[in-house]
Amino acid sequence: MLMKLSTRCMYGLNDLTYIYSLIFINGVSSSLINLAMSLRAYDISNSASLVAITVMFYNMSYVIASWSLSKLTSKFRSIKNLLATIFAGYVLGVLLMIFNNLYLLFIGGVFIGISSALSSPMLMSILGSYVGKDSLTVARFNLVSTIASVIGYLIGSTSGSNILALEISAVISIPAILIANHIRVDSLTEIKKELHIPQIPITAGNIRSTPTTVQTHKLMYDFKILMYDLIKMFRKGVLRELSLLLIGGVALFTAISTFFSPFPAILKEHGFTDSDVFIMSLTSSIASIIWFRLASRFIKSVSDAWSVLIKCVLSRIAIFSIPSLTLAFIDDLKILRLLITIFYILIGTTWALISTSLTTLILSLSERERKGVRLGHMNGAIGAGTVLGSLCSAVIIQYGFLVNFVMVITLLMLTYLVFNKAVGALVT
Protein backbone atom coordinates (compact mmCIF):
# COMPACT_ATOMS: atom_id res chain seq x y z
CA MET A 1 0.00 0.00 0.00
CA LEU A 2 2.81 2.39 0.94
CA MET A 3 4.65 1.52 -2.28
CA LYS A 4 1.57 2.33 -4.37
CA LEU A 5 1.10 5.66 -2.60
CA SER A 6 4.76 6.56 -3.17
CA THR A 7 4.48 5.69 -6.85
CA ARG A 8 1.39 7.88 -7.22
CA CYS A 9 3.14 10.80 -5.53
CA MET A 10 6.12 10.53 -7.89
CA TYR A 11 3.72 10.21 -10.83
CA GLY A 12 1.92 13.38 -9.82
CA LEU A 13 5.17 15.25 -9.15
CA ASN A 14 6.49 14.38 -12.60
CA ASP A 15 3.26 15.50 -14.23
CA LEU A 16 3.34 18.84 -12.43
CA THR A 17 6.99 19.28 -13.35
CA TYR A 18 6.10 18.92 -17.03
CA ILE A 19 3.18 21.34 -16.67
CA TYR A 20 5.23 23.98 -14.86
CA SER A 21 7.96 23.56 -17.49
CA LEU A 22 5.47 24.31 -20.26
CA ILE A 23 4.09 27.33 -18.38
CA PHE A 24 7.64 28.61 -17.88
CA ILE A 25 8.61 28.09 -21.53
CA ASN A 26 5.40 29.79 -22.65
CA GLY A 27 6.15 32.82 -20.46
CA VAL A 28 9.75 33.19 -21.62
CA SER A 29 8.87 32.74 -25.30
CA SER A 30 5.94 35.17 -25.14
CA SER A 31 7.96 37.96 -23.57
CA LEU A 32 10.77 37.50 -26.08
CA ILE A 33 8.50 37.33 -29.11
CA ASN A 34 6.16 40.20 -28.19
CA LEU A 35 8.89 42.82 -28.24
CA ALA A 36 11.18 41.21 -30.82
CA MET A 37 8.32 41.11 -33.32
CA SER A 38 7.82 44.88 -33.19
CA LEU A 39 11.54 45.54 -33.33
CA ARG A 40 11.90 43.17 -36.27
CA ALA A 41 9.04 44.91 -38.08
CA TYR A 42 10.88 48.22 -37.75
CA ASP A 43 14.16 46.75 -39.03
CA ILE A 44 12.39 45.43 -42.12
CA SER A 45 10.08 48.37 -42.85
CA ASN A 46 11.75 51.36 -41.17
CA SER A 47 8.19 52.56 -40.57
CA ALA A 48 6.36 53.12 -37.27
CA SER A 49 3.05 52.78 -39.11
CA LEU A 50 3.93 49.30 -40.41
CA VAL A 51 5.07 48.32 -36.92
CA ALA A 52 1.60 49.28 -35.66
CA ILE A 53 0.02 47.22 -38.43
CA THR A 54 2.15 44.24 -37.39
CA VAL A 55 0.86 44.66 -33.84
CA MET A 56 -2.69 44.92 -35.19
CA PHE A 57 -2.38 41.56 -36.99
CA TYR A 58 -1.12 39.98 -33.77
CA ASN A 59 -3.86 41.55 -31.64
CA MET A 60 -6.62 40.63 -34.11
CA SER A 61 -5.54 37.00 -34.30
CA TYR A 62 -5.22 36.86 -30.50
CA VAL A 63 -8.70 38.28 -29.94
CA ILE A 64 -10.40 36.15 -32.60
CA ALA A 65 -8.68 33.00 -31.32
CA SER A 66 -9.67 33.85 -27.74
CA TRP A 67 -13.31 34.34 -28.70
CA SER A 68 -13.25 31.13 -30.79
CA LEU A 69 -11.48 29.08 -28.14
CA SER A 70 -14.13 26.39 -27.83
CA LYS A 71 -14.34 25.82 -31.59
CA LEU A 72 -10.57 25.70 -32.01
CA THR A 73 -9.94 23.30 -29.14
CA SER A 74 -12.84 21.05 -30.16
CA LYS A 75 -10.88 20.06 -33.27
CA PHE A 76 -8.32 18.28 -31.09
CA ARG A 77 -9.14 15.05 -29.31
CA SER A 78 -5.78 14.87 -27.59
CA ILE A 79 -4.34 17.46 -25.23
CA LYS A 80 -0.86 16.33 -26.26
CA ASN A 81 -1.56 17.13 -29.89
CA LEU A 82 -3.12 20.47 -29.01
CA LEU A 83 -0.18 21.59 -26.85
CA ALA A 84 2.33 20.35 -29.42
CA THR A 85 0.48 22.34 -32.11
CA ILE A 86 0.46 25.47 -29.95
CA PHE A 87 4.21 25.43 -29.42
CA ALA A 88 4.80 24.43 -33.03
CA GLY A 89 2.85 27.58 -33.88
CA TYR A 90 5.36 29.59 -31.87
CA VAL A 91 8.27 28.00 -33.71
CA LEU A 92 6.68 28.43 -37.15
CA GLY A 93 5.72 32.03 -36.43
CA VAL A 94 9.22 32.89 -35.26
CA LEU A 95 10.85 31.23 -38.28
CA LEU A 96 8.66 33.30 -40.60
CA MET A 97 9.67 36.48 -38.76
CA ILE A 98 13.38 35.84 -39.25
CA PHE A 99 13.07 36.27 -43.02
CA ASN A 100 13.52 39.80 -44.33
CA ASN A 101 9.94 40.00 -45.59
CA LEU A 102 7.18 42.07 -44.05
CA TYR A 103 4.36 39.88 -45.35
CA LEU A 104 5.92 36.79 -43.76
CA LEU A 105 6.23 38.83 -40.56
CA PHE A 106 2.49 39.57 -40.66
CA ILE A 107 1.71 35.87 -41.16
CA GLY A 108 4.12 34.95 -38.38
CA GLY A 109 2.35 37.40 -36.09
CA VAL A 110 -0.95 35.66 -36.82
CA PHE A 111 0.52 32.27 -35.87
CA ILE A 112 1.99 33.74 -32.69
CA GLY A 113 -1.29 35.47 -31.81
CA ILE A 114 -3.31 32.28 -32.17
CA SER A 115 -0.79 30.21 -30.20
CA SER A 116 -0.62 32.85 -27.44
CA ALA A 117 -4.41 32.98 -27.16
CA LEU A 118 -4.64 29.20 -26.74
CA SER A 119 -1.55 28.47 -24.64
CA SER A 120 -2.39 30.27 -21.39
CA PRO A 121 -5.99 29.05 -20.97
CA MET A 122 -5.08 25.48 -21.87
CA LEU A 123 -2.04 25.36 -19.58
CA MET A 124 -3.95 26.95 -16.71
CA SER A 125 -6.83 24.53 -17.14
CA ILE A 126 -4.47 21.54 -17.17
CA LEU A 127 -2.76 22.86 -14.06
CA GLY A 128 -6.19 23.33 -12.47
CA SER A 129 -7.06 19.69 -13.15
CA TYR A 130 -4.11 18.72 -10.91
CA VAL A 131 -4.18 21.49 -8.31
CA GLY A 132 -7.96 21.55 -7.95
CA LYS A 133 -8.51 24.88 -6.21
CA ASP A 134 -9.07 27.78 -8.63
CA SER A 135 -7.42 30.49 -6.53
CA LEU A 136 -4.33 28.34 -5.97
CA THR A 137 -4.19 27.48 -9.67
CA VAL A 138 -4.30 31.13 -10.70
CA ALA A 139 -1.69 32.12 -8.09
CA ARG A 140 0.75 29.41 -9.16
CA PHE A 141 0.23 30.04 -12.86
CA ASN A 142 0.76 33.80 -12.47
CA LEU A 143 3.84 33.28 -10.30
CA VAL A 144 5.57 30.99 -12.82
CA SER A 145 4.48 33.16 -15.78
CA THR A 146 5.70 36.36 -14.12
CA ILE A 147 9.11 34.92 -13.29
CA ALA A 148 9.34 33.55 -16.83
CA SER A 149 8.47 36.90 -18.43
CA VAL A 150 11.15 38.68 -16.38
CA ILE A 151 13.71 36.08 -17.45
CA GLY A 152 12.53 36.50 -21.04
CA TYR A 153 13.15 40.24 -20.91
CA LEU A 154 16.58 39.60 -19.36
CA ILE A 155 17.47 37.23 -22.18
CA GLY A 156 16.22 39.75 -24.74
CA SER A 157 18.26 42.57 -23.20
CA THR A 158 21.45 40.52 -23.41
CA SER A 159 20.81 39.01 -26.85
CA GLY A 160 21.88 42.18 -28.64
CA SER A 161 19.42 41.90 -31.54
CA ASN A 162 15.79 41.06 -32.19
CA ILE A 163 16.74 38.27 -34.63
CA LEU A 164 18.78 36.48 -31.96
CA ALA A 165 15.94 37.00 -29.46
CA LEU A 166 13.53 35.36 -31.92
CA GLU A 167 15.94 32.49 -32.55
CA ILE A 168 16.30 31.93 -28.81
CA SER A 169 12.51 31.84 -28.41
CA ALA A 170 12.32 29.18 -31.15
CA VAL A 171 15.04 27.09 -29.51
CA ILE A 172 13.24 27.37 -26.16
CA SER A 173 9.87 26.43 -27.68
CA ILE A 174 11.05 23.28 -29.50
CA PRO A 175 11.54 21.21 -26.28
CA ALA A 176 7.98 22.17 -25.27
CA ILE A 177 6.67 20.19 -28.26
CA LEU A 178 8.40 17.10 -26.85
CA ILE A 179 7.43 17.82 -23.24
CA ALA A 180 3.77 18.01 -24.29
CA ASN A 181 3.87 14.28 -25.04
CA HIS A 182 4.40 13.58 -21.33
CA ILE A 183 1.21 15.32 -20.19
CA ARG A 184 -1.08 12.68 -18.68
CA VAL A 185 -4.38 14.43 -19.42
CA ASP A 186 -5.32 12.60 -22.59
CA SER A 187 -8.50 14.33 -23.71
CA LEU A 188 -10.26 17.66 -23.42
CA THR A 189 -13.10 16.01 -21.52
CA GLU A 190 -10.75 15.63 -18.56
CA ILE A 191 -10.30 19.39 -18.34
CA LYS A 192 -12.83 21.66 -16.71
CA LYS A 193 -15.38 23.09 -19.13
CA GLU A 194 -14.58 26.51 -17.71
CA LEU A 195 -11.22 27.75 -18.94
CA HIS A 196 -9.20 30.49 -17.31
CA ILE A 197 -8.34 33.19 -19.82
CA PRO A 198 -5.68 35.81 -19.04
CA GLN A 199 -6.58 39.32 -20.15
CA ILE A 200 -5.42 40.33 -23.61
CA PRO A 201 -1.72 41.26 -23.77
CA ILE A 202 -0.67 44.13 -26.01
CA THR A 203 2.47 43.58 -28.02
CA ALA A 204 5.14 46.01 -26.83
CA GLY A 205 2.70 47.40 -24.30
CA ASN A 206 3.95 45.31 -21.42
CA ILE A 207 0.54 44.24 -20.17
CA ARG A 208 1.34 41.19 -18.11
CA SER A 209 0.60 39.59 -14.75
CA THR A 210 -3.05 40.33 -15.41
CA PRO A 211 -5.99 38.88 -13.50
CA THR A 212 -7.76 35.98 -15.10
CA THR A 213 -11.35 35.39 -16.01
CA VAL A 214 -13.39 32.30 -16.63
CA GLN A 215 -14.35 31.59 -20.24
CA THR A 216 -17.49 29.56 -20.78
CA HIS A 217 -19.04 28.18 -23.94
CA LYS A 218 -21.90 30.69 -23.54
CA LEU A 219 -19.66 33.75 -23.64
CA MET A 220 -20.41 34.78 -27.25
CA TYR A 221 -24.13 34.53 -26.49
CA ASP A 222 -23.59 36.76 -23.48
CA PHE A 223 -21.74 39.25 -25.66
CA LYS A 224 -24.86 39.56 -27.81
CA ILE A 225 -26.95 40.17 -24.69
CA LEU A 226 -24.39 42.73 -23.50
CA MET A 227 -24.53 44.66 -26.79
CA TYR A 228 -28.34 44.64 -26.63
CA ASP A 229 -28.19 45.99 -23.06
CA LEU A 230 -25.77 48.76 -24.07
CA ILE A 231 -27.98 49.86 -26.98
CA LYS A 232 -31.05 49.84 -24.75
CA MET A 233 -29.18 51.83 -22.10
CA PHE A 234 -28.39 54.64 -24.54
CA ARG A 235 -31.83 54.66 -26.11
CA LYS A 236 -33.60 55.03 -22.78
CA GLY A 237 -30.95 57.26 -21.29
CA VAL A 238 -30.67 55.06 -18.20
CA LEU A 239 -26.98 54.89 -17.40
CA ARG A 240 -25.67 51.77 -15.69
CA GLU A 241 -22.44 51.60 -13.73
CA LEU A 242 -21.19 48.28 -15.11
CA SER A 243 -22.05 49.17 -18.73
CA LEU A 244 -20.19 52.46 -18.46
CA LEU A 245 -17.23 50.66 -16.90
CA LEU A 246 -17.02 48.39 -19.97
CA ILE A 247 -17.34 51.33 -22.38
CA GLY A 248 -14.62 53.17 -20.49
CA GLY A 249 -12.50 50.03 -20.67
CA VAL A 250 -12.69 50.05 -24.47
CA ALA A 251 -11.63 53.72 -24.55
CA LEU A 252 -8.81 53.17 -22.03
CA PHE A 253 -7.25 50.22 -23.83
CA THR A 254 -7.67 51.91 -27.19
CA ALA A 255 -5.57 54.75 -25.77
CA ILE A 256 -2.96 52.36 -24.36
CA SER A 257 -2.70 50.41 -27.62
CA THR A 258 -2.61 53.61 -29.70
CA PHE A 259 0.40 54.75 -27.73
CA PHE A 260 2.35 51.50 -27.41
CA SER A 261 1.80 49.85 -30.81
CA PRO A 262 4.32 52.09 -32.65
CA PHE A 263 6.39 52.99 -29.57
CA PRO A 264 9.32 50.54 -30.10
CA ALA A 265 9.77 52.04 -33.57
CA ILE A 266 9.78 55.54 -32.10
CA LEU A 267 12.48 54.55 -29.60
CA LYS A 268 14.57 52.99 -32.38
CA GLU A 269 14.24 56.17 -34.44
CA HIS A 270 15.77 58.11 -31.52
CA GLY A 271 18.82 55.87 -31.15
CA PHE A 272 17.61 53.24 -28.66
CA THR A 273 18.93 49.73 -29.23
CA ASP A 274 16.97 46.48 -29.11
CA SER A 275 18.57 45.78 -25.72
CA ASP A 276 17.42 49.17 -24.44
CA VAL A 277 13.81 48.40 -25.34
CA PHE A 278 13.94 45.01 -23.59
CA ILE A 279 15.48 46.60 -20.48
CA MET A 280 12.72 49.23 -20.39
CA SER A 281 10.06 46.50 -20.47
CA LEU A 282 11.93 44.62 -17.77
CA THR A 283 11.81 47.64 -15.43
CA SER A 284 8.09 48.02 -16.10
CA SER A 285 7.46 44.35 -15.31
CA ILE A 286 9.35 44.58 -12.04
CA ALA A 287 7.40 47.71 -11.06
CA SER A 288 4.13 45.91 -11.86
CA ILE A 289 5.12 42.89 -9.75
CA ILE A 290 5.88 45.12 -6.76
CA TRP A 291 2.71 47.17 -7.07
CA PHE A 292 0.43 44.22 -7.65
CA ARG A 293 1.33 43.14 -4.13
CA LEU A 294 0.80 46.64 -2.75
CA ALA A 295 -2.45 47.35 -4.62
CA SER A 296 -4.64 45.60 -2.05
CA ARG A 297 -3.58 48.18 0.54
CA PHE A 298 -5.08 50.98 -1.55
CA ILE A 299 -8.11 49.16 -2.95
CA LYS A 300 -10.33 47.81 -0.18
CA SER A 301 -13.77 48.80 -1.46
CA VAL A 302 -15.69 49.75 -4.60
CA SER A 303 -15.25 53.46 -3.85
CA ASP A 304 -11.50 52.92 -3.41
CA ALA A 305 -11.36 51.07 -6.74
CA TRP A 306 -13.15 53.89 -8.57
CA SER A 307 -10.93 56.51 -6.95
CA VAL A 308 -7.70 54.67 -7.84
CA LEU A 309 -8.86 53.90 -11.38
CA ILE A 310 -9.83 57.50 -12.15
CA LYS A 311 -6.62 58.88 -10.64
CA CYS A 312 -4.54 56.43 -12.67
CA VAL A 313 -6.32 57.42 -15.88
CA LEU A 314 -5.61 61.10 -15.18
CA SER A 315 -2.02 60.36 -14.18
CA ARG A 316 -1.50 58.49 -17.46
CA ILE A 317 -2.01 61.80 -19.28
CA ALA A 318 1.05 63.20 -17.50
CA ILE A 319 2.96 59.93 -17.76
CA PHE A 320 2.45 59.63 -21.53
CA SER A 321 3.65 63.21 -21.92
CA ILE A 322 7.12 62.23 -20.64
CA PRO A 323 8.30 60.39 -23.77
CA SER A 324 6.08 62.41 -26.10
CA LEU A 325 7.73 65.70 -25.12
CA THR A 326 11.23 64.57 -24.21
CA LEU A 327 11.76 62.67 -27.46
CA ALA A 328 10.69 65.78 -29.35
CA PHE A 329 13.01 68.24 -27.60
CA ILE A 330 15.94 66.28 -26.09
CA ASP A 331 18.76 64.78 -28.17
CA ASP A 332 21.08 63.49 -25.42
CA LEU A 333 20.62 59.70 -25.46
CA LYS A 334 21.76 59.25 -21.85
CA ILE A 335 19.14 61.68 -20.58
CA LEU A 336 16.52 60.08 -22.81
CA ARG A 337 17.35 56.61 -21.44
CA LEU A 338 16.89 57.88 -17.89
CA LEU A 339 13.59 59.62 -18.61
CA ILE A 340 12.16 56.69 -20.61
CA THR A 341 13.16 54.30 -17.82
CA ILE A 342 11.25 56.47 -15.34
CA PHE A 343 8.34 56.46 -17.78
CA TYR A 344 8.26 52.65 -17.94
CA ILE A 345 8.44 52.36 -14.15
CA LEU A 346 5.41 54.65 -13.86
CA ILE A 347 3.61 52.65 -16.55
CA GLY A 348 4.23 49.42 -14.63
CA THR A 349 3.07 50.99 -11.38
CA THR A 350 -0.15 52.43 -12.79
CA TRP A 351 -0.88 49.25 -14.74
CA ALA A 352 -0.89 47.20 -11.55
CA LEU A 353 -3.34 49.64 -9.97
CA ILE A 354 -5.54 49.90 -13.08
CA SER A 355 -5.71 46.13 -13.51
CA THR A 356 -6.50 45.51 -9.84
CA SER A 357 -9.16 48.23 -9.65
CA LEU A 358 -10.84 47.07 -12.88
CA THR A 359 -11.04 43.50 -11.62
CA THR A 360 -12.34 44.64 -8.23
CA LEU A 361 -15.08 46.72 -9.86
CA ILE A 362 -16.15 43.99 -12.27
CA LEU A 363 -16.40 41.40 -9.48
CA SER A 364 -18.18 43.82 -7.14
CA LEU A 365 -20.73 45.05 -9.69
CA SER A 366 -21.51 41.68 -11.29
CA GLU A 367 -24.36 39.37 -10.45
CA ARG A 368 -23.19 36.54 -8.22
CA GLU A 369 -23.90 33.85 -10.81
CA ARG A 370 -22.36 35.83 -13.71
CA LYS A 371 -19.05 37.09 -12.32
CA GLY A 372 -17.00 34.93 -14.69
CA VAL A 373 -19.06 36.05 -17.67
CA ARG A 374 -18.72 39.71 -16.70
CA LEU A 375 -14.95 39.32 -16.44
CA GLY A 376 -15.14 37.83 -19.90
CA HIS A 377 -16.99 40.95 -21.04
CA MET A 378 -14.18 43.10 -19.69
CA ASN A 379 -11.69 40.96 -21.60
CA GLY A 380 -13.81 41.53 -24.67
CA ALA A 381 -13.65 45.30 -24.07
CA ILE A 382 -9.87 45.07 -23.65
CA GLY A 383 -9.55 43.02 -26.83
CA ALA A 384 -11.65 45.48 -28.83
CA GLY A 385 -9.55 48.35 -27.48
CA THR A 386 -6.23 46.73 -28.40
CA VAL A 387 -7.31 46.16 -32.01
CA LEU A 388 -8.85 49.62 -32.38
CA GLY A 389 -5.77 51.23 -30.86
CA SER A 390 -3.24 49.48 -33.10
CA LEU A 391 -5.39 50.31 -36.16
CA CYS A 392 -5.75 53.91 -35.03
CA SER A 393 -2.03 54.37 -34.44
CA ALA A 394 -1.17 52.80 -37.82
CA VAL A 395 -3.03 55.69 -39.47
CA ILE A 396 -2.18 58.58 -37.13
CA ILE A 397 1.52 57.86 -36.54
CA GLN A 398 2.18 58.82 -40.17
CA TYR A 399 1.55 62.43 -39.13
CA GLY A 400 4.05 62.28 -36.27
CA PHE A 401 4.39 60.94 -32.75
CA LEU A 402 3.05 64.18 -31.23
CA VAL A 403 -0.17 63.86 -33.24
CA ASN A 404 -0.46 60.28 -32.01
CA PHE A 405 0.05 61.58 -28.47
CA VAL A 406 -2.79 64.10 -28.89
CA MET A 407 -5.07 61.22 -29.92
CA VAL A 408 -4.03 59.24 -26.84
CA ILE A 409 -4.73 62.21 -24.57
CA THR A 410 -8.16 62.67 -26.17
CA LEU A 411 -9.02 59.01 -25.56
CA LEU A 412 -7.82 59.21 -21.95
CA MET A 413 -9.97 62.29 -21.35
CA LEU A 414 -12.94 60.42 -22.83
CA THR A 415 -12.16 57.50 -20.52
CA TYR A 416 -12.06 59.85 -17.52
CA LEU A 417 -15.44 61.36 -18.44
CA VAL A 418 -17.05 57.92 -18.85
CA PHE A 419 -15.63 56.57 -15.58
CA ASN A 420 -16.56 59.76 -13.73
CA LYS A 421 -20.10 59.44 -15.06
CA ALA A 422 -20.21 55.78 -14.04
CA VAL A 423 -19.55 56.66 -10.38
CA GLY A 424 -22.87 58.49 -10.20
CA ALA A 425 -24.81 56.05 -12.39
CA LEU A 426 -27.29 53.39 -11.31
CA VAL A 427 -25.75 50.20 -10.03
CA THR A 428 -26.20 47.39 -12.53
Instruction: List Cα–Cα distances, 166 to 97, 163, 355, in angstroms.
Output: 8, 5, 29
CB contact at 8 A, 200 and 220: no
The CATH number for 71's domain is 1.20.1250.20
Sorted by sequence, the CB contacts under 8 Å of residue 69 that are 6+ apart come out as 117, 118, 121, 195, 197, 215
Give the model's pLDDT for residue 131: 77
Give the model's pLDDT for residue 206: 41
CA distance 11 to 172: 25
Helix runs in 160-218, H state only: 162-179
Residue 197 lies in a domain: yes
CA distance 84 to 78: 10
Sorted by sequence, the CB contacts under 8 Å of residue 270 that are 6+ apart come out as 327, 333, 336
Instruction: List Cα–Cα distances, 96 to 160, 262, 427, in angstroms.
Output: 20, 21, 49
What is the enclosing helix (H) or strand (E) of 198? strand 195-198
For 363, counting Cβ atoms within 10 Å of its Cβ (0-12 exposed, 13-18 middle, 19+ buried), the class is middle
pLDDT in tens, 33-91: 989 999 999 999 999 999 999 999 999 998 888 777 767 766 777 788 888 999 999 99
CA distance 413 to 310: 10
- Number of structural domains found in the chain: 1
Give the model's pLDDT for residue 341: 95
Which range marks the domain in which residue 335 is found? 2-423
Instruction: List Cα–Cα distances, 173 to 91, 94, 281, 336, in angstroms.
Output: 6, 10, 21, 35
CB contact at 8 A, 276 and 339: no
Query: Coil, strand or helix: which one is 428?
Result: coil
Give the model's pLDDT for residue 221: 42
Q: Facing residues of 195 across strands?
A: 215
Residue 428 lies in a domain: no
Residue 277 lies in a domain: yes
- What DSSP string runs through 225-237? HHHHHHHHHHHHT
What is the enclosing helix (H) or strand (E) of 347? helix 333-365
Query: Coil, strand or helix: which one is 214?
Result: strand
CA distance 30 to 32: 5
- What DSSP string runs through 269-326? HTT--HHHHHHHHHHHHHHHHHHHHHHHHH--SHHHHHHHHHHHHHHHHHHHHHHHHH
CB contact at 8 A, 401 and 328: yes
Low-confidence ranges of the chain (pLDDT < 50): 1-13, 187, 189-222
Amino acid type, 381? A
Query: Coil, strand or helix: which one is 197?
Result: strand
Give the model's pLDDT for residue 130: 78
